[in-house]
Structure 1
Amino acid sequence: MTSVPSLLQFARYRVEDGVRDLLGKEISARVAETNLESDLDDTILAGIGAYALRRHLPGDILHGMQVFTAAGSHALLLSNLPAQEFPATPVSGFGDEAGLAVTNAIHLGLIRLLECTPFAVHFENDGRLIRNVVPNPAASGTTSSWGADSEFFWHTDNPHQPFAPPGSDPRLYTPPYLTFYAVRNEERVPTEIAALDDVVVRLDPDTRLGLLAAEFEVGAPDSNDGEATRALRSTPVLETGPDGRHRVRYDRGTTAGRTPAARKTLERWCSVLRTVPSAELVLDTGDFLVFDNYRVLHRRKAFTPHPHATARWLRRCYAA
């Protein structure tokens, strides 16, 4: 096969140390006398963070954030953001949200700069806005964001939900964007992302046509409450959105072909996924990552976490 250059549109920025320190000082001062919870006070936290970020971030970063969704970029990474004093990793999955007000103001403020709205779903994470991506011992052996010992193959989040029509309540549909703030990653575990465009150009015509057929069933991932979710039946894996771009719903563990032809199509799809070019990102403390969940597949390999107090800890929030 002829080598094809990667089509991944990935913007990377880094905050200078002086700007980082000014941001941290201002946001810390604004939340110091408060008791703001991410689930109850997300609008206030977003306002505090966005105000400080607009005051201190350089123009090129602000512009890159503002045009990210409109430009149809796949992913954006902003590094060296302020980091507060963090508690031990909440490996149970839940911790003190009020104690993370600085981090939440930054995270939610950045989502506002993207001109997006953060949201949670009732069938995952107890309906809480921010998911602690941690190695929860209770999730051992599962392909869940609370797992560690099982490999995630290429997938999109909540693929069992329909794609949202414009102007819809995002809680009823597949999340358009995934955002992450990295608290700690001493294990140096990479998050890998790949553009759907890079997969599509490597598909033969028959496989591409097969993926567009409504001959698949997609169930909920392990991180969802199975009693509150239903599989999406008679659906395509690949679609063309209203903007003319391809979009995908896929999780190897929950996607099945309903016909012999569809099952063979999935086999060829998986073979291509094993060869797709990707970006391997080792997120450090203070890194913010956002990517398009319709047009980007992501994965994480199995790893051995550090002891609970210092285990890998990312903060994830859906956005639309």
Structure 2
Amino acid sequence: MTKSRSGIHTLHIPDPSKAAAGAALDAVTELGDALPDTGPDLYLEYGAKHLRNHLPAEVLDALAQWRYSPTAWLTLANLPGPHEPVPTPRDGFCDESLLRTPNLVHFGILHLLGLTPIAYPWENDGRLIRNVAPRAASADTLTSWGYAQPLDWHTDDSVLDHRPEADAAEAIPHYLSFFGMRNDERVPTDLLPVDTVLETLPDRTAEALRRPDFTVTAPESYTTDDHGRPLSRTVVPVLWTLPDGNAALRYGPGRLTGHTPGARAALADFERHAAGLPGLPVMVEEGGFHIFDNRRVMHRRVPFQPAAEGRARWLRRCYAHRPATAPVPATAG
């Protein structure tokens, strides 16, 4: 395990383990014609199987520990990628059959972490994996296909249901996971823990953010409702507490509206404090895997100039959900 200057711990896969895992994953025959969207369980099962067989014991132990006691984020480096180079997609989508090995790695790690991939029908054409890659037609949009404008601090899919009993198909995604295909531009993803922001906020501001006095609207990457209006959710809090006791947040610049003077003042105070915090940079490079809790961590990205066609920054994003665990039986006595 290594530690970057930002304080982010990284599990580094040794070259021999990477080669062995890559060879085993390249040789998987049980998938048939299945793609991640048509056979996710196959990718979860066989990805995890071969990673268990070839990753070092200390890495598997760290993944198992995270599974039962998750931190706000986790990073791995030097994982196997496609057998042959694949150009960065130009229009947001690509031939998934060329990406079997990175998809097996991505889904295999999610399975080892006890997580389930999740997609939404109104976003990304309902696909599980989003190509975070520059698209010329989307350059100025505030989406994962844009690059000319900054993406300020936000959490993803804040318009969805935050309650712990919410169905996975309608809930704010618990985790964002990324597999790095390439990042020659060395563009980081900055992370800002909710706890860090709360340390700077007055108690009265936090209390106001916990009240269901807000409306949230969906971002540009969402489709609209049947009447052409942006999807929205009313009477919701900005801040709440997760079942494990950690503070959680929904936020997107310009996406939240307070319905009372106190709510509007609290939102403005929150934005002022968050804007002054630097966050922690994470560099997801080729063969890297990074995951963070979308409810406990905000993220952002600076504008950048993409590399040459076919070589531009390309991350593969998959939302993940942690199924509710059964309660621990009470001991007798």
CA distance in 2, matches of 1:298, 1:109: 24
Q: Specify the alignment match of 1:183 in structure 2.
A: 181
Post-superposition shift, 1:97? Answer: 0.7
Distance between the aligned counterparts of 1:299 and 1:169, measured in 2? 27
Q: Which residue number corresponds to residue 108 of structure 1?
A: 107
Q: Secondary structure at the match of 1:317?
A: strand
Distance in 2 (alpha carbons) for counterparts of 1:195 and 1:178: 14
Q: By how many angstroms is 1:260 displaced?
A: 2.7
Change (3 A) 1:99 1:247: same
1:277 offset after TM fit, Å? 4.9
8 Å CA contact retained: 1:10, 1:73: no
Q: Which residue of 1 aligns with 2:287?
A: 286
Equivalent residue runs for 1:119-130 within 5 Å = 119-130=118-129
Distance 1:245 1:9 in 2: 20
Per the alignment, do residues 301 and 268 of structure 1 end up closer, same or farther by CA in structure 2, a change over 3 Å counting? Answer: same
| CA-CA distance at 1:56 after TM superposition | 1.4
Mark the CA change 1:101 to 1:255 in structure 2 (over 3 Å): closer, same or farther. Answer: same
State the TM-score, normalizing by the size of structure 1: 0.92
CA contact (8 A) 1:38 1:98 kept: no
The whole-number CA distance in structure 1 between the counterparts of 2:72 and 2:152 is: 19
CA contact 2:8–2:282 (8 Å) conserved in 1: no
1:161 aligned partner: 160
Q: Give the unaligned 5+ runs of structure 2.
A: 1-5, 322-333
Structure 1: gaps spanning 5 or more residues:
1-7
Match of 1:90 in 2: 89
Partner of 2:131: 132
Normalising by structure 2, what TM-score? 0.89
Conserved? CA contact 1:182–1:286, under 8 Å = yes
Checking the alignment, whether the CA contact within 8 Å between 1:214 and 1:236 is kept in structure 2 is yes
Contact 1:9 1:75 in 2 (8 A): no
* Mapped contact 1:9–1:73 kept (Cα < 8 A): no
Aligned to 1:5: none
1:56 to 54, 57, 61: 54
Displacement of 1:80 in angstroms is 0.4
Give the whole-Å Cα distance in 2 for the aligned partners of 1:31 and 1:187. 35
- Cα RMSD of the aligned pairs, angstroms, is 1.9
Question: Which amino acid letter does the alignment assign opposite residue 96 of structure 2?
Answer: E
The aligned residue for residue 38 of structure 1 is 36
**Contact preservation (8 Å) 2:67, 2:112:** no
What letter matches 1:199 in structure 2?
V
User: What is aligned with 2:27?
Assistant: 29
Letter in 1 for 2:274: L
Q: Of residues 212, 220, 225 in structure 2, which corresponds to 1:222?
A: 220
| Counterpart code for 2:283 | V
d(CA) in 2 for partners of 1:9 and 1:60? 20
| Same amino acid, percent of matched pairs | 37
Q: Secondary structure at the match of 1:315?
A: strand
Per-residue Cα deviation, 1:160-204 (whole angstroms, up to 9, x for no partner): 1112424x5311110001110000111111101111111111111
Deviations 1:99-131 (A, max 9, x none): 111111110001000011111110100001100
CA contact (8 A) 2:117 2:128 kept: yes
Instruction: Spell out the pairing of 1:181-260 with structure 2 (5 A cutoff).
Output: 181-227=179-225, 230-260=231-261
| CA deviation vs aligned residue, 1:125-154 (integer Å, no higher than 9, x gap) | 000110001111222321111111111111
Give the match's secondary structure for 1:318.
strand
CA contact (8 A) 1:11 1:75 kept: no
Alignment partners' CA distance in 2, 1:185 and 1:32: 31
Tell me by how many angstroms 1:283 deviates. Answer: 1.4
Alpha-carbon offset, residue 280 of structure 1: 0.4
Q: Does 1:141 align with 2:117?
A: no
- Give 1:243 shift: 2.3
Mapped to 2, the partners of 1:192 and 1:249 lie a distance apart of: 17
Pick which of 226-235 and 280-289 moved more.
226-235
Match of 1:77 among 75, 78, 102: 75
- The separation in 1 between residues aligned to 2:319 and 2:68, in whole angstroms, is 18
Give the superposition deviation at 1:10.
5.0
- Looking at structure 2, the residues matched to 152 and 258 of structure 1 have their Cα atoms a distance apart, in angstroms, of 26
1:171 maps to which of 163, 169, 172: 169
**C-alpha deviation, 1:241, in angstroms:** 2.2
Q: Does 1:305 align with 2:306?
A: yes
Contact 1:31 1:102 in 2 (8 A): no
Give the match's secondary structure for 1:309: coil
Q: How far apart, CA to CA, are the structure 2 residues paired with 1:63 and 1:226?
A: 44
**Residue type of the partner of 1:315?**
R
For residues 208-264 of structure 1, give each alpha carbon's deviation from its aligned partner in whole angstroms, at most 9, with x where no partner exists: 112112221111111111237621112111112222221000001312222232222
